[in-house]
Structure 1
């Protein structure tokens, strides 16, 4: 399937997920394939064969503790990956195999709901036959995209068998594995059942995924609306150009996160480049320039060139800290450069705000809540390192500290704009 058709198909899936009006019965008669699965690191396509002897493989149980969920959107049934199961340093291919009895499902049109949380790409085999995949396995190294809910129809010839063998060929890169201690492989068990029941689960998983990232799109729309409002109300517009640019760039970062998980138009490497290497340094640099202009801080004169230098250094640090960019680059060194660059960004921002508040007095203090709220999102990494809670799950959906902060920032900024516009009208009315 080419990229255009894939995007169209995914959009249709999103539409179905939004428009489906039927409540999902969480006790529907599907078989949750917790296992225990047979598991082995390494790779051989012979391992997909139903008669392959996997007696010497280790076992992995995907049964999740009650109430467990992933740390992002709130997908339920989450368990740690193979890095937490004795394979902390292993990246590459690994296989999961499971023999499943069809006695309770015999004679029905069957389907399988793919695992909605996997590091990082997978292929699904049933009785040695490839049914589908998540990711592109056509090249020598698989290309990973976001893992989305997937539904695989089983051939009708299988439904009359007593036992089938399900095998997942999973691949994860060293770069992804280095990002956490519980990554690698399948995190949420797949499900098997009648096609209608699996379709209901598939739509339910899509709704979870959409709800988990819909806030990002809402924030994008809010930032754009705020930028337009500033352009209309704050004159001259030239004085607030950086503020408008900062809002647009930050909106693009938020929207791109949702589009990555919804549309699969970007690979995992592409979103690293677009978001981490390009957009995030530009976002930090533009926000420092935005607050400099907002507070009308003209001195020290070295602030703009320092912001430019920090932005370029941060870009380089982000690029060469990516483990997949090059095997010869000291990634840890460049990661340290990125981290220290961020701290210097925070220091320069503090100088700008300090000078601005001192110059503007009471008016300067009025903007401080907005500065603190936007900084809570911009410097989320540093706040997390201080062990400040970063995400909550109201109604089973993950909402991050950054999302709360940006929502509050938008409300404060709209309030300030209305307040200042009202103060401008008072002298005119008296006149």
Structure 2
């Protein structure tokens, strides 16, 4: 049976007391996203979706559909990352303690803001067969949150604020969230929002076709996480957290495991992320697969992540990228010059950086010409690697600076050494 987006919503907005949404009138309605999703079924993707690969066979890694979703197939050009991507998409929806329908509603909100018909179709599919679908239908239809819990309203507003701006969650809004969620759950909300920002940019930049089955009801029940009405006021450390942090701490002391890293051991971003190990582990596995098998050089990738982090104003990630570039021998004078303009970039770096800025600003407006220029310089696989680096920092910027994670001493020192006394005064 076909799922109609209109069964969920006519209104584009969710009114909450936590955040003003003055720009909501510019958002596409769900009816518009449905029409766009149906038109995208036969779209010509910018990447090869039929590359030979060992596709995941488990129902969970196929999102309980009859075939591998295109967001996973698109990784075929980087085959080492196929399974980690499938596992990450699954984990974002079905791991953790925040209700699955709440996470899908957060994803649907991100899809509206970033104009992503592909992401919208999959999120509507999840919500439409959720035990909480009637409540969400009322929320979207009437434009108010009276039918859902305070936690759900806060989660949706959190996703919206964080998607609009890396620093969009105010101290007041964060305090409201913290009054209703444990630290582990806040990390979970942040990872979920950050990953949907990653996913929307990836699927729109590659113009992935919407699978026909994404517009149909799942043939089997989905393993929904539902709200635990008896949750404690503090998060209890789980066996998964104990195991994950123990393994990560050991890896942080292993020179072989640290190869290719920044030399910081376990970065503060990972220390925070392991509060939600069910989501942190697949995210880390995806990053490891991309880094260990990369074909695009670290010099280019770090320039991409520096450009994205600078554009988003992410203090934590800018310092890390400066540290990484210094570690591979980039002249500090070049980094200083890049604060003014792109003249110091090589032509190869400039191609990647200009594309990354386009995806960061508005992924729905990436053109065939933009993709052709990137592919001409880097080839099909290299283009996907550059895009994934861009998407990774759409994620990391929202995770690190939103949570106000402190920079490690070494990252601060190298940053100050690079830019001088002026940067010390700005601290």
Of structures 1 and 2, the one scoring higher in RCO (CA 8 A, sep 6+) is 2
TM-score by length of structure 2 reads 0.29
Q: Which structure would you say has the larger Rg?
A: 1
